[in-house]
Every structure is written in C-alpha cells, then in structure tokens.
Amino acid sequence: MTTATRRTVLATAIAAPFIAPRAGWTQAGSVKLGILQPLTGALSQDGEYGRIGAEIAIREINEAGGIRGMRIEPVFGDARSAPEGGVAEVERMQAEGVVGVVGGFASPICLAASQAASRYDLPYVVDVGVADTIVTRGLRNTFRFGPGFGVVTQTALDNLSALNDAAGKPARTVVLVHEDGLFGTGLARLMNAELPKRGFEVLETIPHPSPSRDMSNVALRIRALNPDLVIPSSYYAEFALLAQTMQQRRIRPKGIYAVLNGAASNFRFVREFPEAAQAVMDCNHWADPRKPATARVKAAVEAMGRFWLYNVALNYSAVQLMADAIGRAGRPDRAAVIEALAATGPAFTSHIMPYGPTRFVNGQNQSAAPVNTQVQGGDIKVIFPNDFADARPIFPVTG
C-alpha cells in the first residue's frame, strides 16, 4: 500500500461520520420505523430473533396495504449488546427521521436507548426488557407492551400456588437456581420473600454466572437437597447444561418450574434435548396459541429454518402496536404517535400475545402478563391460565 493510499484511507475513515447521513425525512408514501436489536456481541442470539419478529410484522403490514396506504420502511440498528451502542443507533435513527423505535431487548440497552429517544420525543416501544425502572422514570415517550419484572414474578408465584393447589399440594420444598445478572438476582430475591408466605420452603438459592463452564456442581447440590421443586431462572446455555446434567444423573424433582428461562420455552432446546426437556415448565412471555395469526407467524419463522421463540412474538406484537398507533395518529408525527400509543385500548387486536384489553398507565401495558408453558411430547403447550391454555399441566412429574 502506498503512503498516499494509506493516508486517503485514514482520511476517509475519519471523515465518514461527518458526512451527513441520507437526508432523513419520510418520502411520500412511506414511514420510517427504527428496529433496534443487539445483533452482534453476547446477546446476538436473541437480537436476531427479535429482528425476525419485527421483519415479519412489517412485511405483513406492508402486504396488507401499509399504514393508511403508507409503507413501513424499517431502519435496522445494531446495539452491539451494549448501552452505548443502543444510544448511538437511536441517534442515527433519529437523524434518519424515524417516527418511532421498537426493540432493545436487554434492560440496560432499553434504559439508555429510550432515554436517548426521549430527548427528541421519539416514541420508543420496549420489546422484552423487564426491568421495572424502564417505565418508572417518568419518560412519556417510553412504552412497554410486555410485562415488567414485578408482574412476571408475582404472576409466577400466583400461578405456582394455583398449580400446586390444583394438584393437591404435592410440592413444598424449593431450590432456586438463577443467573447472577439483573433479572435472575432480582427474581431470586422476590421469590425468597414471597414463597414462604405461600407455604413453600426455600432450601437453597444457587446463583451462577453466565457463561458458566460447568453446571455439574449445581446439579450435585440439587441432588443432595432433594427438593420437590427446582425453580431455574437462567439463560439458554446454562439451563440446557443443567437440564442435561440432571437428566443424566436421574435427578427428578416433582417439577422444574422455570421463570423467564432462556431455554425452557425454546424449541431448539426441546428438539435437541427431548428427554431433558420433557415436562419442564416455564413462566415466560409466550404467544397466544388461540389466535390464528400466531400459527401464521410461527409458520413464517419455521419456513426460514429458525425456531419459534417468545422474542419473535413480542417484537411482532410491538411493531403491530406501533403501526396501530401511527395509523390512529393519522400522520407520521412523533408527538401524535406518543399520544396515540398512550390511548391504545381494547380495539388493538393485531398482536399475538395472551393479554387482555390493552391499557397503558405510565407507559406500561396493564394487561401484560406471562403465561405458564410446559414441554409435552416435544411441543411447548400453554398450561395456565385456563383462558389461554391448550393443554393440561403434568404435575407432579412422576417416574
């Protein structure tokens, strides 16, 4: 490489961010929507599925004629699994004139990105991020369609009690296993406070790092404690390891009741570890099995050769929500969209989540809730609440 060429390359590299991005405002006939996901880095697995969900929704909406005749033009952003990446992408999307942003996935990214968006009064719909702080900061631009952490835990506890009662109270002792990050630790703390009030005894709480190179010792301690129930709250890899180890060593509690678990309601896990996955329950985000749109979206995902995941359904629904609000606002104006979002009501039905009528208070959808699923015969069924169930629970697990 000659000196001159090298200098040119370097000069271009330095100049690149200062060159104005494509002039931003919407061209006649289309609306720009920002889709923010962690596409590279530690969270890339989930980020990609989130993007798929958004893409399917956008394609369906456009094929049906768009929002009041205007096509949705997606602006994809890669948060690089870091909050500053999310902020940088929001700034870029803002400059390109998006009418709103959907996504984020991880709570730290959602926190930083929605805050950056609030400077421009840019509507931001969180897809997954469960931290309660996301909707308690008083930011009027931030909305979350899915449930927050507190609701998930409360529902998980209520449903567990209901399940246990319905089966004749076979379970009393519990071992908690959780990833040592934000949601795992918070969940464990809440569980430790609430479970005893409902007649359960927590024998031990076992945190573990992600990634974990080995889960044998965790399995060993579970075997030694011999609890009725194991409540694991982990990401995909660690739970797959734990479930496989437990199955190998014939450690069979009366039930594995996962909460917000990365593997328990993941078809890849079910396909790759059929024996270990059988009868595992999860209290997690999940699509409504009764809605016809769910089967359609699921088929679209599987046609791509990918697995069906809660993340896809949540992002699909979040994009539908944003599109619905833009339609009701009548024009691609950010402030109007924020107002429309806040006013979303029972008429919004194009989502595929098992929620009641939509109602936002301080940006949080009040009817959002997780559901209980269980792996049965190689399929993931909804077992609770009965309104959305498509199978009966297998509990306690015997044999």
Partner 1 sequence: MRSYPPEIVAEVVLNGLLTGSVYGLVALGLTLVYGVLHIINFAHGALLTAAMFGVFVLHEVFGIDPYWALPVMAPVFFGFGYLLQRLVIGPAARGDDSNILLVTLGLSIVLENLMLAVFRSDTRSVRIPLANEMLEWGPMLIPAPRAIGFVVACIVAVLLFLFLARSSTGRAIRAVAKERTGATLVGIDVAHIYAITFGIGTACLAVAACLLLPSFYVNPRVGNAFVLVAFTIVVLGGMGSVPGALLGGLFIGVVESLSGLYLGESLGQIGIFAIFILVLLVRPTGLFGAKA
Partner 2 sequence: MRAILLFAGIAALLPVFVTANTVLNFAVFTLVVALAAQGWNILGGFGGQYSFGHAAFFGTGAYAVAVLQMRYGLNPYAAFAAGIALGAAVGAAIGAMTFRAGLRGSYFALVTLAFAEVFRVLANSLALTGGAAGLLIPLDVRPENFQFASRAGFYWIALGLVVLCLLLSFWLSRSRLGAHLVAVRENEAAARALGVDVFAVKLQAIALSGAITAAAGGFYAQYFLYIDSSIAYGTWISVEALLAPIIGGAGTVFGPVMGAILLHALGEASRHLFGRIPGVDLMLFGAVLILVVRYPPRNLWRRS
Question: Collapsing DSSP states into helix, strand and coil, what is residue 362?
Answer: coil
Q: Work out how close the CB of 243 gets to partner 1 at its nearest, in angstroms, rounded to a whole number.
A: 11
Instruction: Looking at residues 254 to 273 of the shown chain, list those that interact with partner 1 (rule: CB under 8 A).
Output: 268, 272-273
Which residues partner with 282 through β-bridges?
258, 373
Q: How far is 259 from 281, CA to CA, in rounded Å? A: 8
| Residue 311 main-chain phi, psi, to 5 deg | -60, -35
Number of residues that bind partner 2 (CB under 8 A): 47
185 binds partner 2 (CB under 8 A): yes
**Residue 66 vs 85, nearer CB to partner 1:** 85
User: With CB under 8 A as the contact rule, which of the stretches 19-27, 62-70, 220-228, 311-319 interacts with partner 1?
Assistant: 220-228
Residue closest to 91 by CA, chosen among 64, 115, 67: 115
Instruction: Looking at residues 40 to 69 of the shown chain, list those that interact with partner 2 (rule: CB under 8 A).
Output: 40, 44, 47-48
Sign of CA dihedral 45, 49, 54, 55: positive
Burial pattern 343-373, b for ≥16 Cβ within 10 A else e, equals ebeeebebbbbbbeebbbeebbbeebbbbbb
Using CB distances below 5 to 8 A depending on partner kind, what does residue 88 bind out of partner 2, partner 1, none? Answer: partner 2
Instruction: Looking at residues 142 to 201 of the shown chain, list those that interact with partner 1 (rule: CB under 8 A).
Output: 180
Using CB distances below 5 to 8 A depending on partner kind, what does residue 216 bind out of partner 1, partner 2, none? Answer: partner 1
Helix H or strand E encompassing 12: helix 3-15
Q: How far is 215 from 241, CA to CA, in rounded Å? A: 6
Using CB distances below 5 to 8 A depending on partner kind, what does residue 248 bind out of partner 1, partner 2, none? Answer: partner 1
Sign of CA dihedral 312, 313, 317, 323: positive
21 binds partner 2 (CB under 8 A): yes
Site string for partner 2, 125-164 (x = CB under 8 A): ------x-x---xxx-------------------------
| Residue 32 main-chain phi, psi, to 5 deg | -90, 130
User: With CB under 8 A as the contact rule, which of the stretches 154-162, 193-201, 212-220, 388-396 interacts with partner 1?
Assistant: 212-220
Using CB distances below 5 to 8 A depending on partner kind, what does residue 241 bind out of partner 1, partner 2, none? Answer: partner 1
Sign of CA dihedral 20, 21, 22, 28: negative
Q: How far is 231 from 258, CA to CA, in rounded Å? A: 5
Contact of 131 with 115, CB cutoff 8 Å: no
Q: Work out how close the CB of 380 gets to partner 1 at its nearest, in angstroms, rounded to a whole number.
A: 17
The contact set with partner 2 (CB under 8 A) reads 1, 3, 6-7, 10, 12-18, 20-21, 39-40, 44, 47-48, 76, 78, 82-84, 87-88, 91-92, 94-95, 108, 111-112, 115-116, 119, 131, 133, 137-139, 180-182, 184-186
Residues contributing to the site for partner 1 (CB under 8 A) = 40, 42, 44-45, 47-48, 180, 206-209, 211-214, 216-218, 220-221, 224, 236-237, 240-241, 244-245, 247-249, 268, 272-273, 307
